[in-house]
Structure formats: C-alpha cells, structure tokens
C-alpha cells in the first residue's frame, strides 16, 4: 500500500484531470451565459445536446484535479521527495487555496439554490473582514451588485492565471505525457457519462440547503460563531499552517500536527452538518 | 563602509519598487471598489391579494391581511441567503443557517442578529391596473 501510494504519479494524474477540466470548461463557456446563470446551467442540462455530459465532465474532472492534488501533497510530505526552500514552498502551496476557490466559484456559477446561497455567504464573509473586506469582495464576488460577472471573470481567467503563476515553477520541472494516462482520462469520461453533475433548483418550502462538500464544516461553524471568526480566521490558521508543512525541524512537525488536528476537527464538524 | 552603502542603496531600491507597486495598485482598487448607484426599482405584483395571501418574489415576500399589505425582504440579515416562507409555522426561515423571522420581519431565532427590512407598497388604482407596486 505504502509503495503504491509513493509510486503512483498523483501529481501527473491531477494535472491530466486539470487538462480535461480546462478543455471541458472552454466547451461549456461557448454556451454558458453569466447574466442568467441558473437558466443557462439548466439549459445545458435539459436543452443543449450533450450539455449535461460536458457539464458533468467539467464538474468531475475539476473535483478529481483537486482531490488528486491533495493526495499528491500528502504523499510528497510523507515520501522521500526533495524539500523546497520555505519561500518556494509558500509560493507553491498558495496554489491550493486558489484551486479551492476555482472549485468554489464553479459551484456558485451554477446559480442554483446551493450555488446562489454559497456565493452570497462568501460575499458576506468577505464583507465581515475589517478594512480590506469590501475591496476583497469587489475583487472576488460582488454578487449583490454585479451578479455573476466578477465570479465568472475570476473563474475563467483570474484564478486560473493566478494558479498557473503559483504552480509554474513546479510544473515546468516535470513533463507529463497525457497519452500515458489514457485509461484514466477514459475513466473520467465514462464516469461523467454515467453520473450527472448535481443541480438543485430553487424550491418553495425548502428550509435546509447544504453547501459544497468542502465548505460544509464552515457552514456549520457559521451557525455558532461570528462570520469573521468562522469564515475567515478558522480557515486562515489552516492556510497559514500549510505554509510551514515542509519547514525543517520543529516548525514543520508542529505545522503538520496542527494541520492534521484541524482537518480531523473540520471532518467532525462536516459530519455534524451532514447529519442535519 | 562601501559595502554597507551598497546594501543600503539596494534595500532602498527594493522599498521604492514596493512603494511604486502599491501606488500603482491604488487606482485599480479605487476603480474596482466604486459602486455605480443603482436606479430605484419598482416591482409590480399584478394580482389582487385576498386576506391571508402570500406572494413570494425573488427579493421580497408580500403579505396581505384585513388592515394592511406589506413587503418584507427575502434576504437573510445573517449572510444573505434567500428566505423561504413556512406556511405551517407562519415564519420566514433561512435555508442556510435556519434563522427565523416573523412575517413583519422581526428576528426571533438563529444566528441572524438584525430584523429584515420592510419595503414600501403602493396599491395600483385604475381600470386596467390591478395589484401592487413594491419599491426596492
């Protein structure tokens, strides 16, 4: 098992999934209209030939990209890989929250009950940050004022470019040949043909909406704590701990211990949210 | 001494470049942050309501009883989710974190701290005009 984990090329597979995600995203963008997000997303599902397939392919390949990059990160941390300097590591790891934001903005752009609510919550969390909150919201979301315009711009250009800037130095060191992962790509295609990407229309009399899986714990925390604490500070300490995961000596060990405990607690809170 | 001076100049140059970047960012942030004032919006509800009727719009809920017609915001004051109306409990409930409000917008439970805003409602009069105008 340990050998399998260490020898499998998780990073390369993650990148191949990202290629599939980008290509399917380009196809979707030809039909998606950010002025009418929900209408547009449901048109893809119900009207446009193969629309649901392309949407599912984009959805699942993006999820697989994120999950495999997490596996890649964990395996690298526990494997014999060369350590990066702290500066280079921080630069590279900054790509993780950016990829999570890419995933999140994708959820929001669906414009369904989950997407719209998640977007509005994110906007209000941003606004709860003192001094820079309003500016940050203007850069990332501004859904109340601008609809999905800025979320869309960030999803298709801004965040993608930012991710490439952070990951570029890492990516250019390795050569990934897509043909070597033919079965994996075929697997993503077949999976997307069988399983439709989720869509939750607004319904009267719905009194519980669950957010994206990776923010369920955050949704639960927001029930008890102030938005600034639950939505900003709690995730921020985790992101800061990521920066020191690979540091030498005591710092690295403490950061890994902290990040591990944080994830276990977050997983527990997520389970509470799922039980509602 | 010369080495120190060189280091000082090099550090100063770095700081000047950082300051120049910050100065260049200022017009960008001012540009992005500016909010174009929205035109006041008048939403027509083109139907006459009976006593006890409830009309759900995207942004408000319109109520009508024996003495009054009033519109209350559907946007939760906690984190902005869209509220739904529970006929059983006669309450507005947030699907995200279950804050509860009365039909007059008064917060009664959940993480929301503020009441919901009310909007002005005007009854349309005229031969062909039936219904209400809500000012947002």
List chain B residues with CB under 8 Å of A209: 81, 95-96
A218 lies in some domain: no
Per-residue model confidence (pLDDT) at position A100: 95
Instruction: State which residues form the domain around A100.
Output: 2-199
- Can you give the CATH number for the domain in which A21 is found? 1.20.810.10
Per-residue model confidence (pLDDT) at position B125: 79
Q: Which residue has the tokens 């030939």?
A: A49
Q: Is B32 on the interface with A (CB under 8 A)?
A: yes
Per-residue model confidence (pLDDT) at position A156: 95
Least confident of A160-174, A204-218, A226-240, B102-116: A204-218
List chain B residues with CB under 8 Å of A117: 81-82, 95-96
For residue range A43-59, what is the model confidence (pLDDT) as tens digits?
A: 999 999 999 999 999 99
First to last CA, chain A: 35
CB contact under 8 A, B82 and A207: no
Q: What's the domain count of chain A?
A: 1
Task: List the single residue in B29, B95, B97 with the smallest CB-CB distance to A223.
Answer: B97
Average pLDDT over residues A270-274: 93
Least confident of A21-30, A76-85, B47-56: A76-85
* Distances in whole angstroms, Cα of residue A186 to Cα of each of A37, A198, A253, B81: 29, 21, 39, 39
Q: Is B136 on the interface with A (CB under 8 A)?
A: no
Pure H helices in chain A: 2-7, 10-29, 37-46, 51-78, 86-93, 95-109, 113-127, 133-140, 143-146, 149-153, 159-171, 182-194, 216-224, 227, 234-243, 249-274
For residue range A98-151, what is the model confidence (pLDDT) as tens digits?
A: 999 999 999 999 999 899 999 999 999 999 999 899 989 999 999 988 999 999
CB contact under 8 A, B82 and A135: no
For residue range A139-155, what is the model confidence (pLDDT) as tens digits?
A: 999 998 899 999 999 99
Other beta carbons within 10 angstroms of residue B78's beta carbon come to: 22
Per-residue model confidence (pLDDT) at position A246: 81
A80 lies in some domain: yes
Helix (H) or strand (E) holding A154: none
**pLDDT values of chain B reduced to their tens digit, one per residue, 136 residues:** 778 888 888 889 989 999 999 898 888 888 877 877 777 789 998 888 888 889 999 899 999 988 889 999 999 999 999 999 998 899 999 999 999 999 999 999 999 999 999 999 998 877 777 889 998 8
Residue that wins the pLDDT comparison between A187 and B32: A187
A170 lies in some domain: yes
Residue that wins the pLDDT comparison between B44 and A203: B44
User: Residue A1 pLDDT more than 80?
Assistant: no
User: Residue A226 pLDDT more than 80?
Assistant: yes
What string of DSSP letters covers A220-269?
HHHHHS-HIIIIIIHHHHHHHHHHTTT-SHHHHHHHHHHHHHHHHHHHHH
- Mean pLDDT score of chain A, rounded to an integer? 91
CA distance B17 to chain A (A): 20
pLDDT tier for residue A205 given thresholds of 50, 70 and 90: confident
Q: Is B133 on the interface with A (CB under 8 A)?
A: no
CATH number of B42-135: 2.102.10.10
CA distance B59 to chain A (A): 11
A219 lies in some domain: no
A180 lies in some domain: yes
Structural domain boundaries of chain B? 1-34, 42-135
Q: What angle do CA A186, A187, A193 make, to 5 degrees?
A: 90
A157 lies in some domain: yes
Q: Is A178 on the interface with B (CB under 8 A)?
A: no
Least confident of A157-166, A204-213, B62-71: A204-213
CA distance A272 to chain B (A): 13
ipTM of the complex: 0.79
CA distance A117 to chain B (A): 5
User: Residue A77 pLDDT more than 90?
Assistant: no
User: Residue A164 pLDDT more than 90?
Assistant: yes
Report the residue of chain B nearest A133, measured CA to CA: B33
């Amino acid at each position: 098992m340990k050998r399998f984990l260490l020898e499998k090329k998780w990073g390369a597979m993650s990148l191949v999934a990202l290629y599939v995600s980008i290509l399917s995203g380009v196809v979707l963008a030809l039909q998606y209209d950010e002025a009418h997000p929900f209408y547009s997303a449901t048109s893809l599902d119900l009207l446009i030939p193969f629309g649901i397939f392309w949407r599912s392919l984009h959805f699942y390949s993006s999820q697989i990209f994120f999950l495999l990059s997490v596996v890649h990160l964990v395996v690298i941390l526990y494997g014999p890989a060369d350590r990066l300097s702290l500066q280079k590591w921080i630069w590279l790891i900054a790509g993780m929250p950016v990829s999570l934001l890419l995933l999140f903005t994708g959820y929001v752009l669906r414009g369904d009950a989950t997407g719209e609510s998640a977007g509005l919550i994110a906007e209000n969390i941003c606004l709860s940050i003192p001094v820079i909150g309003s500016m940050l919201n203007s850069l990332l979301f501004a859904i109340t004022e601008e609809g999905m315009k800025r979320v869309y711009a960030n999803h298709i250009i801004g965040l993608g470019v930012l991710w490439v800037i952070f990951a570029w130095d890492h990516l250019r060191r390795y050569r990934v040949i897509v043909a070597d992962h033919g079965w994996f790509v075929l697997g993503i295609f077949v999976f997307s043909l069988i399983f439709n990407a989720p869509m939750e229309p607004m319904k009267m009399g719905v009194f519980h909406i669950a957010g994206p899986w990776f923010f369920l714990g955050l949704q639960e925390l927001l029930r008890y704590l102030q938005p600034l604490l639950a939505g900003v500070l709690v995730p921020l300490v985790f992101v800061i701990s990521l920066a020191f995961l690979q540091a030498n000596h005591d710092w690295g060990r403490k950061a890994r211990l902290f990040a591990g405990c944080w994830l276990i607690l977050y997983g527990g809170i997520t389970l509470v949210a799922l039980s509602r | 001494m010369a080495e120190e001076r060189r280091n000082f100049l090099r550090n100063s140059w770095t700081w000047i470049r950082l300051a120049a970047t910050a100065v260049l960012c200022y017009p960008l942030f001012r540009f992005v942050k500016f909010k174009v004032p929205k035109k006041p919006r008048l939403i027509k509800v083109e139907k006459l309501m009976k006593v006890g009727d409830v009309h759900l719009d995207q942004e408000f809920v319109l109520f009508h009883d024996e003495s009054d017609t009033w519109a209350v915001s559907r946007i939760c004051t906690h984190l902005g989710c869209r509220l739904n109306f529970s006929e059983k409990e006669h309450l507005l409930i947030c699907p995200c974190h279950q804050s509860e409000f009365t039909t007059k917008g008064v917060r009664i439970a959940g993480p929301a701290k503020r009441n919901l805003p009310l909007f002005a409602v005007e009854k349309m009069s005229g031969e062909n005009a039936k219904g209400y105008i809500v000012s947002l």
